[in-house]
Structure 1
């Protein structure tokens, strides 16, 4: 990351113990309208970073816009899974396995790599039974099932994660269209797919594009609107029990779609307000990204700070091993100042 991007980050979240701040998280946050204009910003809107899994709804756009989703009769739950970083719980694993079966494919056809389930019950059950994690347990397996669906529709080869593969070429075209920027580079994500870099403004612009997609009638916008509707209709599939994405979507005062990404990235789509939000915490801390996202949802009036599933991310307590509350994570006043 360029040095000026680092120095332009601003304090957003502090962790207090007793009377003093023990830790401080810096970052960037941008809110855009449906035309891509910046409504509010903290830090540097021009900072270029990887959005990681926060870009999954963009990566799923060609699946729907191409006609592949319709040709394979994909359901809204499957579209939600295509945008998901799921827990690898039985509901997620079973749905992906059924999807692969419809494609006449199997676990080995996924390129996302095996990952232990993050569902405690299933993980312990697999350990007791001596079973190894599979690729369907990977949090990105729904996205990859979507990639495989598109690849079959295009008549392309099996190595769909290669940057030059028709699937990834289509993803890049969609990514650059909705961010309004030529991506300067890509990195290989944890699931082996290319993750395209863009600016904070570009990603917030893309989320604003999704938020206003239902107002347009071109094929890409119709695809975006379908994906957003699937996400907020099936929040359990997008993440899972106890996860910020699922809990904040459930708690919201109106339909919204939100999506976390690794290394402190977070985005939100607010269709009724035509707004998109992008957040990046410089040190990659999830606790800070969740705090900032909850804070901005409260600021924008789509979340009640008193709701327990909002408060748990907005202002969580810090406790020690004996259950004694020793501090708190809290947003800085700059996130609420007019």
Structure 2
């Protein structure tokens, strides 16, 4: 059975302190690429495959652009998002579906409550039920359906690994990583997700994050447009007060977290981080990625320190702050 790297190949990435006592440790692996794409630093095993989960979304969105999907601005940001399901997010998803002549019944992601607490509370008060359009991957799924309609591909089977859309995504993934997909799994939203090492994931995201809209190559122009869309509208990629949106807004980075403790982040100068915490917890991932970029000289210390105060890193006891979740370096 395919499997990710072992605990013996991991290193300590973060610790949880409570009242001066180190209560928990998050181990994992990480890689830092220089602005030119060379390996600058590695922590742990960065070659054994992982499942990048939603950190693959920038690659998936780029593949849809390459297939001719009419995505730009907020719609392109939503195609890359793990959004919090606010009414604003849902409005863009419905617009995307409407432009394809579809509605939310065509979505194949599972019904879900929004991640945004106030939006969920409002739905409960209104007697509403979990909905596919509220699921955090609905933007990606709406973009997938729009890509299918644009190309005349079937929509009922758009999540099948052998569907033309998923074949297109796999081919672009392999082009960006420079290697064959190690194996295919089914993500939480029902879409295929491709296994790859952190080094391969970092290469793919670095190529997107350093792309220019003025490039002579269409794929690079699309990559530049994708990054600009997210930076212009950081709310699309995640949601108010949430880690990816905060990182993009405060640091000017391109960031995309994934389930099971995966994170990719590209600094404005092109320095790139990809990491995975082995226990699957993502609570320290944004902080660790930002600190790795700071350590590489790609982000100013004061800006990173300010971000850390906004992230949900506080440890409480009796209603008071008694500790913190912090990077272990």
TM-score, normalized by length of structure 1?
0.90
Match of 1:7 in 2: 8
Mapped pair 1:329 → 2:325: yes
Match of 1:118 in 2: 115
Do the aligned partners of 2:28 and 2:278 also contact (CA within 8 Å) in 1?
A: yes
Query: 1:68 is paired with a residue of what secondary structure?
Result: coil
Instruction: Return the match for 2:160 from 155, 162, 182.
Output: 162
What's the Cα RMSD here? 2.0
Do the aligned partners of 1:45 and 1:201 also contact (CA within 8 Å) in 2?
A: yes
Q: Structure 1 307/177 Cα, relative in aligned 2: closer, same or farther at 3 Å? A: closer
Do the aligned partners of 2:30 and 2:274 also contact (CA within 8 Å) in 1?
A: yes
The superposition leaves residues 182-228 of structure 1 with CA deviations (integer Å, 9 ceiling, x where unpaired) of 11101101110001011010011112211322174211111111111
TM-score, normalized by length of structure 2?
0.93
Pairwise CA distance, 1:122 = 2.0
Match of 2:79 in 1: 82
Give runs of aligned pairs for residues 1-338 of structure 1, distance below 5 A: 2=3, 5-33=6-34, 36-69=37-70, 74-158=71-155, 159-214=157-212, 216-252=215-251, 255-270=252-267, 272-299=268-295, 300-305=297-302, 310-312=307-309, 316-320=313-317, 322-333=318-329
Unaligned runs of 5+ in 2: none
Do the aligned partners of 1:33 and 1:205 also contact (CA within 8 Å) in 2?
A: no
Q: Structure 1 96/17 Cα, relative in aligned 2: closer, same or farther at 3 Å? A: same
Q: Structure 1 120/61 Cα, relative in aligned 2: closer, same or farther at 3 Å? A: same
Separation in structure 2 between the aligned mates of residue 242 and residue 39 of structure 1, nearest angstrom: 31
Do the aligned partners of 2:315 and 2:325 also contact (CA within 8 Å) in 1?
A: yes
The range that moved more, 296-305 or 193-202, is 296-305
Do the aligned partners of 1:28 and 1:281 also contact (CA within 8 Å) in 2?
A: yes
Q: Structure 1 113/2 Cα, relative in aligned 2: closer, same or farther at 3 Å? A: closer
Query: 1:60 is paired with a residue of what secondary structure?
Result: helix
Pairwise CA distance, 1:273 = 1.6
